[in-house]
Structure 1
Amino acid sequence: MGLLDQCEEVFGTSDLYQVLGVRPGSSEAEIRRGYRKVSLQVHPDRVTEAEKEAATQKFQTLGRVYAVLSDKEQRAVYIEQGTVNEEADISSQDRDWMEYWRLLFKKVTVADIKNFEDKYKGSEEELADIKQAYLEFQGDMDSIMESVLCSTTKDESRIRDILKKAIEAQELPAYTAFTKESAKKQRSRKRRGDKEAKEAEAVREELGLEAGADSLRNLIQSKQKNREKDMNSFLAALEAKYSGNSQKGGKKGKK
């Protein structure tokens, strides 16, 4: 069965971008992130025995979709013709998709997260993400704070300053949701953040983790976020950035 037919059968759409939950103009990192996020939802090791067969089929189909969209030549054919190079797809059907997935997404440790956080905060990458979130959510700070990686209530004033300077420099539009945000909404957001921090601290103590593990606390806090509501979604975003940086230039081995 061709890949597009397979997608229609197991995901209800033949649009490869829709299968991964990304837009047609997505970057390689966004496609990788979409693949990681959706694959976690159907990973055969994370479902019941009754669901395993269907999950395995979806997981393998996702791998084939990602293999097409992450390959420049195959993606170009799909964009231009709306079809998949079936010969190239057939050659990938016998691939061990579980092993392929493990090679793409190494397990992230607390040390990895801390290393990523140290490099990410204050970087050009974070700056770009903050601006992108501001535009995407039209200045809504609740959504911005939920979207930017590793952000906590402690980062809000810093992120606000970044956005104010960008607005003053006319790099960003002055959305009313940002410039006129009420003090009440800001206090409500801080209360939620403080509550999540306490819950994370309780989990840390229960697990016997070392004090001051801020990166892990951020990870646990992300489980509360309205957009994702799933710790694995944070890992998907982080791993797409963290492990992706280390694998650039190794296209055949990674995607």
Structure 2
Amino acid sequence: MSKLLAIDVGNTNTVFALVQGGEAIAQWRASTSSQRTADEYAVWLHQLMQMEGHELSDISRCIISTVVPQSLFHVRNLARRHLSVDPFIVEASSIPGVPVRIPNPSEVGADRLVTAAGAFAHYGGPLIVVDSGTATTFDIIAEDGGFEGGVISPGINLSMQALHDAAARLPRIAIEKPVKIIGTSTVGAMQSGIFWGYVGLIEGLIARIQEEHGASLKVVATGGVSSLFEGVTSSIDHFDPELTIKGLIEICNRLS
């Protein structure tokens, strides 16, 4: 059976998902670099696929979502030169079933709309999608799946890096849930501020969005660090780290 290659190019990582029968059967991550060529991607992907019993020749379709324009040239060439397929490039104006209801639809990152498509397909609407990546975004999806706007704040890793860079005596720390809120060491105080500060950010913004929207919204969390907050807040109804890939699969299904 032919397979789909779904590529999500984020600011920090690029995810390659091999899809068969509407389900992702394998995933690989690489750090995002606008300097990595199509040939380099092909060698890397070929080796990883072979390790799991797949071949590049198995791929008959490709879909690409990117928020890094400089990388698009290389991943598009990967599909055309090494997979012999013309990829579908996700753009704000080309996503079936996701009307964008803001004044300038082109301002919305493709990743946010892809995630909106995945969230609506699996959870329905209306809802809030909290995506914790390089930025933490809160996107509002209407009852019919339309994108109605949202909130963008710095991501937890970005905030932690900024704290380390701006204060000479503050060390680089790992993100983890501290035992106590009140830290009794520099590292403990930083971990508490970062972790519980973001829990407060998430809970506060969700509450304000719910109040302003005037209707009950389901809340779905996704992204690289969203699992850190599972079990510590009742503001999030579902945790689903695969929403972007699910969104790419859903878009392909709608195009078929």
Same fold (TM over 0.5): no
- Relative to the length of structure 2, the TM-score reads 0.31
Q: Which has the higher contact order (CA 8 A, sep 6+)?
A: 1
Question: Whose strand fraction is larger, Structure 1's or Structure 2's?
Answer: 2
Higher radius of gyration, 1 or 2: 1
Instruction: Identify, as 1 or 2, the structure richer in helix.
Output: 1
